[in-house]
């Protein structure tokens, strides 16, 4: 075991290897508040990468309804159960990670889902956390009765549990962009990675008998494009770009701005200890206790910042840039009512207004002698 | 698995059948103790035992056989070969460990005909695990030989500059050979699926839908002709398939596995070269798929001597 620094836990932690951070790290921000669970991302991923025999059940990208949806069955319940009650002292995690709590003879505190656990990819869809009474009217935040959508991909973790678990180093993290890949030539199908990943984002191919996982659409990223699940997103909830190292921050970089400056986007179950690189803007209508459990101690600040967005032109501008270009946006700026995204060379990729222009039609159409509804 | 489910032994000169795993001929550990720093404590404990309780040397003798060596384990030629019981230990030197010793011993016989050597490896197991799919693992056995027959490399699947030649048989590969390539259809016979890519566009164009196949991973082979794979290793985690595959074999399940593994005496580059009259070392590993055994979660043996009758 080596000592490594996990900034999301605010402390050093034990990891089986002396892992060096990659030269740069691809990262994502998902705004859960805007997701409509249309599964366009899921289908985009599926039809791009996993339409072969043996990959039938594989959803490298999935969108589940919280609290009762999960793929595979109960993955998060299992994780929480294994790690016990979350203990934070301010921004420092006091409990144990999946590495630190590994039993003797194991590298990671994991579990292997059974085939049946992968059989219901959209179980719990749109099921609210409580009964909806007749006449229920929800007029406050957080909602008394709620559900929310959680879009999930591999987190291309800084300290991947899948890498730690493989006894033959068949999984590696690319130094150039931090993408985590299963070497399709070297894997011998032990499924140790499947058991180890706390997010259950490595999956076994029943036909080729080796494990596979989300590849972050690396052929696109290498060409300066965002992955399929990002560019196809109907709700424009996603952005993929590079995040700076923990001790660096560049407010012009979209991910740095969201994660480190405004601190509006948070890691999912950071207590697992893998330092995941997908960051979520928490669903503001879900109960706070639930959000604390999911996203750690930054939840209150994140929700408050997000709710104040109309007074925060920079944050508003960046949120408007989500889903506005297929290219990777390396930096952005907001001037007046216009937000602009730039590529790596500083060339403009796209500009968007902070507020979409609206036109309000007359309630009554004289020409057609008809009443009209206004739609967006 | 159960321990006593029948392996054939009537009428065979089975020296040492009553030995328990604790009474292993562990002198080989002393030979390799220097190479395995991590097992120093184990080796020291064993040294004391050897001093107080010397045991007769036991080893595998490959009898000379005229003609082709039978792949059928019930062939009478095998009854003429002496069976040695190889006690097994649970692999708990490197994580992940096997949680329990589920296969305590193997029974090994060997024959050679001047061209090839074959080993009949048998063990009791009450369930046949031959399907490779999600969270399901297959039974398997492996034989390990030093590439340099004059040395005894680390039991840790060799070490740097001490390569070993490993031959692994897997029950799932046996099914591939016996019934044709097994895949998702066989693992989930009641599942529904669209037409397979190869049905729509032919084998070659369909390859792109099988990433491990494109990467030439032997796990994904669709044209397997041997259930045994030739591999090499220079320590834990380094196992790599050999470029030239020469091992063959056959495994049959009958209240346990009866597996014949066969290799040419002159097997070629990066493999072990044997010849009549030679004595070298041999070690074994076995997996019970039903117990979740795979990879390093296995039972393994210490080195034993292997002698080829002149
Ligand atoms: S999310 Fe899982 S599969 Fe992806 S890098 Fe992290 S541990 Fe590995
Ligand atoms: S495409 Fe976007 S909005 Fe639709 S389910 Fe996926 S993340 Fe949610």
Q: What is the pLDDT of residue A361?
A: 79
- Whether residue B1 is predicted with pLDDT greater than 50 in this model: the reply is no
pLDDT tens track for B179-230: 999 999 999 999 887 888 999 999 999 999 999 999 999 999 999 999 999 9
Q: What is the dihedral of CA A342, A159, A293, A250, to 10 degrees?
A: -30
| Burial profile A76-112: b = 16 or more Cβ within 10 angstroms, e = fewer | bebbbeebeebebeeeebeebbbbebbeebbbbbbbb
Q: For residue A62, how far is its CA from the centre of ligand 2 (angstroms)?
A: 9
Nearest CA in chain A to B138: A190
Nearest ligand 1 atom, CA A173:
5
Nearest CA in chain A to B94: A105
Q: What is the mean pLDDT of residues B108-125?
A: 98
The finding on whether A44 has its CB within 6 A of some atom of ligand 2 is no
Please check whether the domain covering B60-181+224-308 is classified as CATH 3.30.70.370: no
Q: Has residue A36 been placed in a domain?
A: yes
Helix (H, G, I), strand (E, B), or coil: what is residue B294? strand
pLDDT of residue A374: 65
pLDDT in tens, A244-302: 999 999 999 999 999 999 999 999 999 999 999 999 999 999 999 999 999 999 999 99
A152 Cβ inside 6 Å of ligand 1: no
Ligand 1 site, residue A156, Cβ cutoff 6 A? yes
Distances (CA, A) of A176 to A183, A247, A331: 16, 19, 19
Say if ligand 1 is within 6 A of residue A194 CB: no
The Cα of B253 is separated from the nearest Cα of chain A by a number of Å equal to 22
Cα Rg, chain B, nearest whole Å = 20
Return residues 201-260 of A near B (CB < 8 Å).
203-210, 212
Q: Tell me the CATH number at A49.
A: 3.30.70.20
**Other beta carbons less than 10 A from residue B309's beta carbon:** 14
Contact call for residues B261 and B280 (beta carbons, < 8 A):
no
Token pair, residue A366, equals: 């004289």
Tens-place pLDDT, residues A28-60: 999 999 999 999 999 999 999 999 999 999 999
Residues from chain A contacting residue B90 (CB–CB below 8 Å): none
B94 touches chain A (CB under 8 A): yes
Q: Is the CB of A153 under 6 A from ligand 1?
A: no
Residues 6+ apart with CB under 8 A from A359: none
**B140 and B289 in contact (C-beta within 8 Å)?**
yes
Nearest to A192 among B209, B215, B295 (CB): B295
Phi and psi at residue B30, to the nearest 5°:
-65, -40
Nearest to A105 among B92, B210, B212 (CB): B92
Q: Say if A212 falls within a structural domain.
A: yes
CA gap B77, A102 in Å, rounded = 49
The token pair that represents B7 in the structure block: 């392996």
pLDDT of B37 over the 70 cut? no
Tokens of A309: 């967005």
Report how far ligand 1's centroid is from the alpha carbon of B291 (Å).
26
Distance between CA atoms of A148 and A282, rounded to whole angstroms?
9
| Domain ranges within chain B, ordered by starting residue | 19-53, 60-181+224-308
The pLDDT value given to residue A12: 97
Nearest by CB: A208 against B94, B135, B220: B220
> Whole-prediction pTM value?
0.89
- Domain hosting residue A68, numbered range: 2-131+140-290
CB pairs < 8 Å spanning A and B: 122
Residue B19 has pLDDT above 60, yes or no: no
Q: In a structure prediction context, what are the per-residue pLDDT tens digits for chain A, which is 376 residues long?
A: 899 999 999 999 999 999 889 999 999 999 999 999 999 999 999 999 999 999 999 999 999 999 999 999 999 999 999 999 989 999 999 999 999 999 999 999 999 999 999 999 999 999 999 888 888 888 899 998 999 999 999 999 999 999 999 999 999 999 999 999 999 999 999 999 999 999 999 999 999 999 999 999 999 999 999 999 999 999 999 999 999 999 999 999 999 999 999 999 999 999 999 999 999 999 999 999 999 999 999 999 999 999 999 999 999 999 999 999 999 999 999 999 999 999 999 999 999 999 988 888 788 889 999 888 766 5
Chain B neighbours among A 16-55 (CB < 8 Å)? 51-55
Taking the C-alpha atoms of residue A153 and residue A148, their distance in angstroms, rounded to an integer, is 17
- Supply the mean pLDDT for chain A: 96
Asked if B135 lies within 8 A of A112 by C-beta distance, the reply is yes
* Residues forming a β-bridge with A25: A243
Pairing of strands B304-308, B59-64: parallel
| pLDDT on residue A41 | 98
Q: Measured in angstroms, how far is the CA atom of residue A37 from the centroid of ligand 2?
A: 5
> Which of B137, B184, B237 is opposite residue A54, by nearest beta carbon?
B184
Say which DSSP state B266 is in. B
Give the mutation target among A33, A235, A322 for probing the ligand 2 site: most ligand atoms within 8 A of CB: A235
Closest chain A C-alpha to B132 CA, distance in angstroms: 7
Q: Residue A155 Cα, ligand 1 centroid: separation in angstroms?
A: 6
Q: How would you list the strands of the sheet with A238-243, edge to edge? A: A238-243, A25-31, A278-281, A266-267
- In short, whether A155's Cβ falls inside 6 Å of ligand 1 is yes
Residue B22: pLDDT above 60? Answer: no
* % chain B with pLDDT above 70: 81
Token digits of residue B44? 């020291």
Alpha-carbon distances of A59 from A56, A179, A274, B11, rounded to whole Å: 8, 18, 21, 57
Q: Is B10 on the interface with A (CB under 8 A)?
A: no
Contacts of A264 (CB under 8 A, 6+ apart): A258, A281, A302, A305, A306, A315
Q: Do A168 and B215 touch (CB under 8 A)?
A: no
Query: How many angstroms is it from A180 CA to the middle of ligand 1?
Result: 7
Chain B: residue whose CA lies nearest to A208:
B220
Predicted confidence at residue A135, as pLDDT, reads: 86
Cβ–ligand 1 contact at A200 (below 6 Å) = no
* Chain B touched by A119 (CB under 8 Å): no
CA distances from A371 to A360, A367, B17, B165 (A): 13, 11, 96, 84
Ligand 2 contacts CB of residue A35 (under 6 A): yes
Residue listed under structure tokens 């997701």: A35
pLDDT in the model for residue B89: 97
Q: Is residue A268, in this structure, part of any structural domain at all? A: yes
Task: Report strand pairing: A25-31 vs A92-93.
Answer: unpaired
Q: How many domains does chain A have?
A: 1
Cβ of B219 and A207 within 8 Å? Answer: no
């Amino acid at each position: 075991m080596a000592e490594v620094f996990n900034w999301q836990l605010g402390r050093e932690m034990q990891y089986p290897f002396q892992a060096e951070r990659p030269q740069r790290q691809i990262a994502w921000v998902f705004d859960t508040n805007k997701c409509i669970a249309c599964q366009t991302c899921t289908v985009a991923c599926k039809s791009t990468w996993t339409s072969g025999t043996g990959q039938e059940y594989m959803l490298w990208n999935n969108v589940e309804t919280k609290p009762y949806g999960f793929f595979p069955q109960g993955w998060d319940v299992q994780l929480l159960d294994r790690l016990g009650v979350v203990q934070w002292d301010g921004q420092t995690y006091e409990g144990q990670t999946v590495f630190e709590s590994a039993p003797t003879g194991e590298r990671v505190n994991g579990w292997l889902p059974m085939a049946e656990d992968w059989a219901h990819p959209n179980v719990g869809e749109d099921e609210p956390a409580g009964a909806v009474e007749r006449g229920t009217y929800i007029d406050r935040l957080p909602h008394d009765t709620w559900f929310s959508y959680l879009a999930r991909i591999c987190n291309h973790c800084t300290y991947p549990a899948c890498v730690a678990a493989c006894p033959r180093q068949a999984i590696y993290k690319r130094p150039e962009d931090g993408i985590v890949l299963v070497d399709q030539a070297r894997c011998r199908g032990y499924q140790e990675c499947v058991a180890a990943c706390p997010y259950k984002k490595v999956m076994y191919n029943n036909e080729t008998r080796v494990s596979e996982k989300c590849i972050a659409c690396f052929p696109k990223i290498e060409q300066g494009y965002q992955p399929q699940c990002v560019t196809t997103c109907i709700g424009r909830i996603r952005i993929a770009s590079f995040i700076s190292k923990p001790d660096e921050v560049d407010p012009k970089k979209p991910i740095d701005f969201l994660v480190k400056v405004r601190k509006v986007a948070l890691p999912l179950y950071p207590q697992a200890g893998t330092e995941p690189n997908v960051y979520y803007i928490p669903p503001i209508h879900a109960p706070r206790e639930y959000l604390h459990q999911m996203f750690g101690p930054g939840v209150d600040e994140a929700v408050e910042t997000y709710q104040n967005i109309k007074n925060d032109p920079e944050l508003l501008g960046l949120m408007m840039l989500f889903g506005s270009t297929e290219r990777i946006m390396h930096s952005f700026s907001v001037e007046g009512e216009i937000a602009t995204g730039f590529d790596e060379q500083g060339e403009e990729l796209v500009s968007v207004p902070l507020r979409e222009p609206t036109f309000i039609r007359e309630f009554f159409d004289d020409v057609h002698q008809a009443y009209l509804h206004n739609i967006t | 698995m159960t321990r006593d489910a029948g392996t054939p032994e009537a009428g065979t000169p089975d020296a040492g059948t009553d030995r328990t795993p604790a009474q292993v001929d562990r002198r080989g550990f002393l030979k390799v103790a220097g190479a395995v720093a991590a097992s120093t404590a184990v080796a020291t404990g064993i040294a004391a035992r050897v001093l107080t309780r010397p045991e007769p040397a036991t080893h595998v003798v490959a009898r000379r056989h005229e003609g082709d060596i039978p792949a059928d384990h019930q062939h009478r030629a095998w009854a003429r070969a002496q069976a040695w019981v190889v006690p097994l230990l649970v692999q708990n030197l490197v994580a992940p460990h096997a949680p329990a010793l589920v296969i305590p011993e193997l029974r090994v016989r060997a024959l050679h005909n001047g061209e090839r050597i074959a080993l009949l490896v048998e063990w009791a197991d009450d369930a046949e695990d031959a399907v490779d799919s999600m969270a399901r693992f297959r039974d398997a056995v492996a034989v390990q030989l030093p590439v340099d027959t004059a040395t005894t490399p680390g039991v840790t699947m060799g070490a740097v500059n001490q390569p070993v030649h490993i031959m692994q048989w897997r029950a799932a590969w046996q099914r591939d050979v016996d019934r044709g390539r097994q895949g998702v259809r066989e693992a989930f016979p009641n599942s529904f699926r669209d037409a397979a890519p190869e049905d729509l566009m032919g084998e070659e164009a369909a390859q792109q839908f099988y990433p491990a196949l494109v990467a030439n991973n032997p796990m994904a082979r669709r044209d397997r002709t041997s259930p045994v794979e030739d591999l090499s290793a220079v320590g834990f985690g380094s196992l790599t398939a050999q470029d030239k595959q020469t091992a063959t074999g056959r495994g049959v399940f009958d209240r346990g596995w009866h597996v014949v593994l066969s290799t040419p005496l002159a097997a070629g580059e990066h493999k072990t070269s044997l010849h009549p009259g030679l004595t070298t070392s041999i070690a074994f590993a076995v997996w019970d798929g039903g117990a979740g055994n795979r990879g390093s979660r296995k039972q393994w043996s210490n080195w034993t001597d292997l002698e080829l009758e002149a």
